[in-house]
Structures are given as C-alpha cells and as structure tokens.
Amino acid sequence: MEFRNYCAKINDMTARVRMAENGAQLVSRLEGRQSLRDIEPSIFPVDGGPGQGDVVEFHGSEGTGKTETLYHLITRCIMPVQSRGLEVAVVFVDTDYHFDMLRLVSVLEGRLAEDCKGGDGSENEPEERVRSCLGRLSVVHCNSSVQLLLTLHYLENTFSSQPSLGLLIIDSISSFYWVDRFNGGESTVCQEANLRKCAELLDRLRRNYGIVIFATTHAIMRNYGSDPGVSEVPGPSSSRRWRSADSVTDFDKPYLCRAWQRIVTHRMLFTKSHVSKDNKQVFSTACTSIMTKGVKRCSFHVMEDGIKFVCDK
Amino acid sequence: MVILREGICPGINEEFIKALQSEDIKTGVDNDHQIATFEDFVSCNPEELAQKCSLSYKALVAVRRVLLAQYTAFPVSGADLYEELLSATAILSTGNPSLDKLLDSGLYTGEITELTGSPGSGKTQVCFSVAVNISHQLKQTVFYIDTKSGMCANRLLQMLQTKTPNMEEQMEALQKIKVFRVFDVFSLLACLQHLRSNDLQKASIGGGSVKALMVDSVSAVLSSMLGGKQNEGMSLLMQVAGELKMIAKDFNIAVLVTNHVTRDGNGHLKAGLGQSWSHVPRTRVLLQRVEDAETSSLRTATLTKSSRQACHLVEEFDLCHWSEEKRTSISGKRKLEERSKP
C-alpha cells in the first residue's frame, strides 16, 4: 500500500513538473478524448458504457466471440461520423498473433455498404472509404511480456501526441501468463513482475490521457470446488468486487495479478450458448461493472459481415 | 529480459551501470531490488533516477529513448497492413476439393491450421498429401517437422506417382520437402528457433519460396510434458505456440499442425492439449472415420473453428483420392492400350 502511495506521489509530481509539452500534447491533455460511452449500448449496461479511463476485460474461453466482438467495436470506432461511427483512432496490441485484417475489412465493408444503402449517396469509392477508416487503426505485434511492457512505454508518446486516439486494445493480456509463471521461478512476485509493471503503466496511461482500454483474457483456469452461482469466495481475493454473473461457465476465475484486477472497471464474460432453431450458434455476453448494479446480458450471432444482436425474449 | 550492460547502446558505459546500481531504487514490491534490467530502468522516473544516482537527466532520457527504439515492436498503420496482406497472402490448395471447400479454398499463409483426430483418422495422410501438393503443384518448399517418425518417403513417392509419371518431376518435388526429425519438445523448440533465425531468414532474403511448415504431431512431444506441477509444461507449450505464431506471421507461412483428441464431459470429441492451446490455431478441422462404411478410407472432416466460415461444416472425402483411385484409372488406360496393341 505504501508503495502505491509512493507511486501515486511520484506520478503527481511528474504531472506537475512536466516541462516540455507541445501544443498537441496540451490539447490532448486538456481537451479530453472522444467519449466511447455509447460505443455499443447492446452489450454494455445502460448508462454504464466505457467512459474515459475505463478498463474493460473480455473474458471467455476459445471460440466464444471475444475477438469477433472486438472487430465489431473497432469498426464502430474507426468509421467516420457521417456513417454513424465515432471517428476515434485505435491502437491494437496483438499478443496472440491472431488479428485477422481480412476479417476486419469484411466487417467494415459490410457496415459501410449498409450505410450507403441508407441513401446519403457517398461520393467516395468503397475501397477508398475502407482505406481511410483503416488509417485510424494501428496494429502492433508483441511476442513476450517484456516486449509488451516496452511497447506500452513507447506508445505513451503516441497517446500524448495524438488527441484523436481514444482506445487501446490488448488481445490478449493473458497470453504470456504461463511463460512468465515459469520464468519467474518460485517467487510469485517475480512471476508477476512484468504483468504488474504493465498494469501499473496502463493505470497511469488511462489516468493521464483518459484513454479507454479493452483487454481480452483467456479463460484457462477452472473454478474447482466452488458452487456455480456462488463463485465469490470470501477472502482477500479481488474477485469479491464482481457480482456473480450466475457463473454461466466454470472457467470464469480471474487469475492474473492483482495490479491488473484492480484497474478493471468492466468485466464481460463470453459464453457459447445454445444453437438456435435456424441452426445458428448463439453467443452470449454478461457484462458487470463496478459503477452500475446488475448484469447486462446480450446474445448475438456471428454472421458473414460481423455480429448481429438477437433481441432478448 | 534485457540486461543492462556495457555497450548495448552508445550512452551506457561502466560508470553509468555502476551509478545505477550504487543506489538501491524501489522498483517494485521487493524494495531492495537493483536496477539490472531495462524493464526496471524503463519503469523508473528519469528525474528521480537522475537525482538519486547523480547521472545527467539528459543522458538517462537519451538512453531510455535509444533502448526503447531498439526493443519495442513498432505499430503499423491498418491501411498499410491491409495493403501488405492483399499483396502477400497466398492460399495454398490442399489438393483435395472437399478439404479446400472446408478451409475456404485452402491453407492461408500467416495462419496456424490444426488437424485433430483420433489415431488412424488420417491426419498424417492429409499432411503428406498437402506437402506433396504444395511441392509439386505449387512448386514451393515445405518444411516438415516429424515428431513421431511417421514420415514415409515411399508414401510421398506413391502420391507423387499418381500426379506425374515423370521421374524427374517426382524427384524435384521430393527435394522440395525438407524433413526435420525431433523427438522431444526441447529439440522441437531448438529446431523452430533455428528455422526462424537461419533458414527462413535466408529464404526470405532469397525471394521467399518457403510457403508451408508442418508439425506432425505437435501433441506427441507436448502432451507428455503436461500434468503434474504444470508450470514448466505449460510454459514450454506456450513457447512452442509462440514460435509457430511468429514463424507464421513474420515470414508469411502457412503452418499446419496435428493434434490428438480427447473427450469432454459430455463425451464429445475435442482437441487435445487443453484450454491454453485451444486459443492457438486459427482454424481447426476434426477428422473422423465414417462408421459402417464398407471402405475404410472414407473420412469426414468437420470444421470446428474458423474465422471465415460457419463452424460445423462437414465434408466427406476419401483418403484414396490422393493415390489409388487415380492409379486404377491409369492402369485401366494401360490395359486399354495393351488390348489395342495386338
């Protein structure tokens, strides 16, 4: 705790004595970023969308639609305002080496075409519009937790100099978990050192620059010995902050370091549910946030051109 | 881990390191930790550090900037990435129409595709035929990592003979398939790292003719490492995964791996190697025997993971498709010729 205060003090100090600041940095610090609160009302709680400095964790096992949902959200961010987008620049940190640009483009094309049908008669070529949207996205691949940490440090400059940049996506923050566990030897402190530093840095980035952070975590830890529905084990565990989302899965145990758990403000659980009558797989999400009560549930299909939300019965 | 030592970047000399290490700086929960790595250094505030170690602030900031530039990954604009993908992505046909249909016309470069199935479901046969098709039809080099000595050159030749009667062409194709034999996970890792830093590097400079890497099977060397106190095994598993992903991405290569199957709680077949591995392949195909079929070479392939096609597509195919079937037609022709001779 002492250490945290110490860090906070240092941060305050540097914030005050930051001498060299150019105009763009000043603007990005003072003016604030574009809000992402209504990025997708279907999956976030009412009045509980991700505001400035919020951290959303997307948690789920393989093939439950996490990355697909990210494509949907990215598309919404990078589309221009006249096509009902948010026109926000996005940085995508790909640690899973998983990012599928072709898929993103097909989602984007579908969305832009849909918009064109609306009849505003856009003069630009579709190809041209896709490219201008993609210009708002930058992608960076990281292959180790050290590289992730250094890259985040490097990105700090980008955040401070680009006011249009509002969203940082890390897919996924848990991918180096096992390698770090082993490299750290016996001591948990060493095992978690890199991720802890990343989390502390992310905390500083979100507070100083007001960016929103989305990060996915793989559900790889089973909740042994806890009743479904009562997943909250009393104790110092930070999972107490989360109201149970009825434990739709037995893989929803948070296992990353506490520095990370502490900064998460929204948690979204992904599950694969039933197959609907017309033979389509239904995916569902359950979002809880520390700001609002209750669980926001939502189901969707994955279609050729992105996800389609299913109206709740 | 990047150890701070003399000479890794212009500004760092002996005094610099000494000055940094003279003072114990609180870098984390373990308070008496010295700054030994760049990760510690970069997380410290340069101003604070300058005062404590009596180093020049300018020098510290300069070193930080140079090292960051050296070790970080660089962001690429989405538009550029798309451009690059459009020009560089290749789709390698597997040579089997039904598999191609399942995979949306073949193996994509830059991705990991996984074949799962119980023993005898034809995983290795499919690997062989894909290797033969890529080396013969597409004239590209294939790296084939064999972890269970299942590689059978005769079978490759047999498959090639159905494609071409020309001996030279057959040999040429066989030469394009480079086989590596490894029998434990450490040699597999060493092999992958070697490929990444030597062979593929060279190949990519010389025009990049290597288009596919196969590991048959990835579970043979990995499954024995799992269980017990897990950490080491899981770490090795993820390192292998990391190497494969990097090879696929950095050199734009199609990676094909095979994996065994287990049954989940409901008795459904699922891919082996557990939850952490399940995130690794981009596309997964489950191979199964067709039950109560009179010929034993009929198989079904089910798409169980894909980001392009609807999952649970099922296609049926015949393993003989790659060899005997065509051979019978050839021998049939020969018979005709023989008959017409006299």
Share of chain B above pLDDT 70, in %: 86
Distance CA A234, CA A239 (A): 9
> CB B42 to CB A153 under 8 A?
yes
Please enumerate in sequence order all residues whose Cβ is within 8 A of that of A295, keeping only pairs 6 or more positions apart, or say none: A243, A245, A246, A286, A287, A288
Average pLDDT over residues B245-257: 90
State how far residue B68 is from chain A, nearest Cα, in angstroms.
6
Is B173 found in the same domain as B58?
A: no
Residue B179, strand partner residues? B144
pLDDT digits (tens, 9 = 90+) for A88-107: 999 999 998 888 888 899 99
- 164-223 in A: which are within 8 Å (CB) of B? 172, 175-179, 181-183, 189, 193-194, 196-197, 200-201, 218-220
The mean pLDDT value of chain B amounts to 81
Tell me if chain A has a CB within 8 Å of the CB of B56: no
CA distance B89 to chain A (A): 10
Can you say whether the dihedral through the CA atoms of B240, B243, B246, B252 is positive or negative? negative
pLDDT of residue B146 exceeding 90, the answer is: yes
> What pLDDT sits at residue A28?
60
Selection from A246-255, B37-46, B176-185, B292-301 with the highest mean pLDDT: B176-185
Among partner residues A131, A153, A182, which is closest to B68 by beta-carbon distance?
A153
Q: How many CB atoms lie within 10 A of CB B3?
A: 9
In A194-277, DSSP assigns E strands to: 212-218, 266-275
The answer to whether the CB of B252 falls within 8 A of the CB of B88 is yes
Q: How far apart, in whole angstroms, are the C-alpha atoms of residue B337 and residue B342?
A: 9
By the 10 Å C-beta count (0-12 exposed, 13-18 middle, 19+ buried), B102 is classed as buried
Whether B29 shows a pLDDT value over 70: the answer reads no
Length of chain B: 342
**A154:B68 CB<8 A:** yes
Residue A17 located in a structural domain: no
- Burial class of residue B264 in the structure, from the number of CB atoms within 10 Å of its CB (0-12 exposed, 13-18 middle, 19+ buried): exposed
* pLDDT of res. B19: 77
Q: Considering only CB atoms, which chain B residues are within 8 Å of A195?
A: none
Residue A51 confidence (pLDDT):
85
Residues B151 and B35 in one domain: no
B68 vs A105: CB contact, 8 Å cut-off? Answer: no
- The CA–CA distances, whole Å, from B323 to B184, B290, B327 equal 32, 19, 6
Strands A281-289 and A266-275 come out as: antiparallel
Residue A205 backbone zone (phi > 0: left; psi -120 to 50: alpha; other: beta):
alpha
Provide the domain limits for residue A155.
Answer: 31-113+125-221+247-310
Q: pLDDT grade, residue B114 (50/70/90)?
A: very high
Q: Kindly report the three-state secondary structure assignment for every residue of chain B.
A: CCECCCCCCCCCCHHHHHHHHHCCCCCCCCCCCCCCEHHHHHHCCHHHHHHHHCCCHHHHHHHHHHHHHHHCCCCEEHHHHHHHHHHHCCEECCCCHHHHHHCCCCEECCCEEEEEECCCCCHHHHHHHHHHHHHHHCCCEEEEEECCCCCCHHHHHHHHHHHCCCHHHHHHHHHCEEEEECCCHHHHHHHHHHHHHHHHHHHHHCCCCEEEEEEECHHHHHHHHCCCCCHHHHHHHHHHHHHHHHHHHHCCCEEEEEECEEECCCCCEEECCHHHHHCCCCEEEEEEECCCCCCCCEEEEEEEECCCCCCCCEEEEEHHHHCHHHHHHHHHHHHHHHHHCC
Looking at residue B21, its pLDDT comes to 74
Tell whether A119 is covered by a domain.
no
B283 found inside a domain: yes
Clarify whether residues B150 and B234 are in a common domain. yes
B7 or A238: which carries more pLDDT confidence?
Answer: B7
* pLDDT over 90, % of chain A: 21
pLDDT at A297 over 80: yes
Q: Is the pLDDT of residue B330 over 50?
A: no
Does B47 contact A68 at a Cβ distance shorter than 8 Å?
no
Instruction: Tell me how many domains chain B contains.
Output: 2
What is the pLDDT at residue B286?
92
Residue with tokens 């093939």: A63
Nearest CA in chain B to A62: B279
Residue B143 has pLDDT above 50, yes or no: yes
- Higher pLDDT: A153 or B53? It is A153
Backbone angles phi, psi at B215, to 5 degrees: -125, 110
User: Of residues B239 and A20, which shows the higher confidence score?
Assistant: B239
Same domain, B26 and B154: no
Which residues 149-188 on chain B approach chain A with CB closer than 8 angstroms? none
Closest CA to B327 of B171, B161, B98, B173: B161
Contact criterion met (CB below 8 Å) for B274 and B226: yes
* pLDDT band at residue A21 using 50, 70 and 90 as cut-offs: low
Q: Which CATH number does the domain housing residue A285 bear?
A: 3.40.50.300
Q: Are residues B236 and B149 in the same domain?
A: yes
Label the pairing between strands B261-263 and A165-171. unpaired
Closest approach of chain A CAs to the CA of B36, in angstroms? 14
A19: contact with B, CB 8 A cutoff: no
Q: Is residue B335 part of a domain?
A: no
Virtual CA dihedral for A203, A208, A209, A211, nearest 10 degrees? 20
Kindly give the pairing relationship between strand B141-146 and strand B177-181. parallel
Same domain, B119 and B143: yes
Instruction: Suggest the residue from B38, B64, B82 to mutate for an interface test with chain A (most A CBs closer than 10 A).
Output: B82
What pLDDT score was predicted for residue A74? 94
From A14, A101, A197, residue closest to B39, measured CB to CB: A197
pLDDT given at position A29: 62
**Domain total for chain A?**
1
Residue A304 in this model has a pLDDT that exceeds 50: yes
Residue among A194, A239, A200, A207 nearest A221 (CA):
A239
Provide the token pair at B277: 């591995």
B126 and B36 together in one domain: no
Residues B89 and B176 both lie in one domain: yes
Question: In this predicted structure, what is the pLDDT of residue A93?
Answer: 94
* pLDDT score for B16: 77
Which residues in chain B (289-318) have CB-CB distances under 8 A to chain A? 305, 307-308, 311-312
Give the least confident one: A169-183, B31-45, B132-146, B213-227.
B31-45
pLDDT at A17 over 80: no
Helices (H) and strands (E) in chain A, counts: 9, 9
Tell me how far apart the alpha carbons of residues B13 and B68 are, in angstroms, rounded to a whole number. Answer: 18
Whether A20 is covered by a domain: the verdict is: no
**In the 8-state DSSP scheme, what is residue A161?**
H
- Please indicate if any CB of chain A lies within 8 Å of the CB of B87: no
**Domain-located, residue A68:** yes
Residue B3 near chain A (CB below 8 Å): no
d(CA B237, CA B219): 10
Q: Which of B68, B250, B307 to mutate to test the interface with A (most CBs of A within 10 A)?
A: B307
Sheet containing strand A55-60, strands side by side: A306-310, A296-303, A281-289, A266-275, A55-60, A212-218, A165-171, A89-94, A137-141, B76-77
Which whole-number Å values give the CA distances from B237 to A287, B153, B199, in the listed order? 31, 29, 23
Q: Is pLDDT of B182 > 50?
A: yes
- Distance between start and end Cα atoms, chain A: 47
Q: How far apart are the first and last CA of chain B?
A: 79
Proportion of chain B above pLDDT 90, given as a percent = 19
- Crossing angle of helices A126-134 and B78-88, in 10° steps, is 120
B97 in a structural domain: yes
**Distances from the Cα of B166 to the Cαs of B136, B158, B161, B279, B338, in angstroms?**
12, 13, 8, 43, 21
Distance from CA of B234 to the nearest CA of A (A): 6
Using pLDDT thresholds of 50, 70 and 90, give the confidence band for residue B144.
very high
For residue B151, give the amino acid letter. M
Each residue of A142-186: pLDDT tens digit?
988 989 999 999 998 888 888 888 899 998 899 898 888 888 888
Which residues of chain B neighbour A96 with C-beta distances below 8 Å?
A: 245, 279
**Which pLDDT does position B113 carry in this prediction?**
94
Closest CA to A216 of A51, A40, A66, A44: A66
Contacts of B275 in chain A (CB under 8 A): 61-62, 218-220, 251
Residue B196 confidence (pLDDT) above 90: no
Reduce the DSSP state of residue A13 to 3 states and report it. Answer: helix
Residue B37 β-bridge partners: B3
The pLDDT, as a whole number, for residue A14 is 52
Dihedral Cα B322, B115, A272, A288, nearest 10 deg: -150
List the single residue in A10, A98, A189 with the smallest CB-CB distance to B48. A10
Distance from CA of B146 to the nearest CA of A (A): 24
Question: Residue A114 has which token pair?
Answer: 């849909």
B275/B279 Cα distance (integer angstroms): 7
Q: Categorize the per-residue pLDDT at B148 as very low, low, confident or very high, splitting at 50, 70 and 90.
A: confident
Beta-carbon separation of B85 and A102 below 8 A: yes
Mean pLDDT of B253-275: 87
Residue A187 lies in a domain: yes
Tell me what the mean pLDDT of segment B22-45 comes to: 65
Q: Residue B307 and residue A67: Cβ atoms within 8 Å?
A: yes
Q: Which of A68, A134, A281 sits opposite B79 (nearest CB)?
A: A134
Whether B235 sits inside 8 A of A178 (CB atoms) is yes
pLDDT at B26 over 60: no
From chain A, the residues in CB contact with B274 under 8 A are: 220
A225 vs A166, higher pLDDT:
A166
| Beta strands B107-108 and A212-218, pairing class | unpaired
Looking at CA atoms only, how far is residue A184 from chain B in angstroms?
10
In a domain, A22, yes or no: no
Asked if the Cβ–Cβ distance from B48 to A149 is below 8 Å, we say no
What is the spatial distance between Cα B231 and Cα A190, in angstroms, rounded to a whole number? 14
Q: Is the pLDDT higher at A41 or at B181?
A: B181
Flag if B278 and A143 touch (Cβ within 8 Å).
no
Q: Which residues of A touch B9 (CB under 8 A)?
A: none
Contact B247, B200 (CB under 8 A): yes
Q: The domain spanning residue B275 has which CATH number?
A: 3.40.50.300
Residue A103 within any structural domain of the chain: yes
Q: Does A54 map to a domain? A: yes
Q: Is the pLDDT of residue B43 over 60?
A: yes
Check CB contact under 8 Å for A138 and B76. Answer: yes
Its domain, for residue B287, covers: 85-318
A89 touches chain B (CB under 8 A): no
**Tokens matching residue A227:** 């009743």
- According to the model, what pLDDT value does residue A139 have? 94
Backbone angles phi, psi at B166, to 5 degrees: -80, 115
What type of residue sits at position B210?
Answer: V
Instruction: With CA atoms as reference, report the closest residue to A140 among B74, B245, B247, B249.
Output: B74
Lowest mean per-residue pLDDT among A6-15, A119-128, A145-154, B305-314? A6-15
**Separation of alpha carbons A102 and A94, rounded Å:** 15
Task: Identify the pLDDT of residue A31.
Answer: 65
- Please tell me whether the peptide bond between A244 and the residue prior to it is cis, using omega within 30 degrees of 0: no
pLDDT bucket at B342, cuts 50 / 70 / 90: very low
Same domain, B105 and B62: no
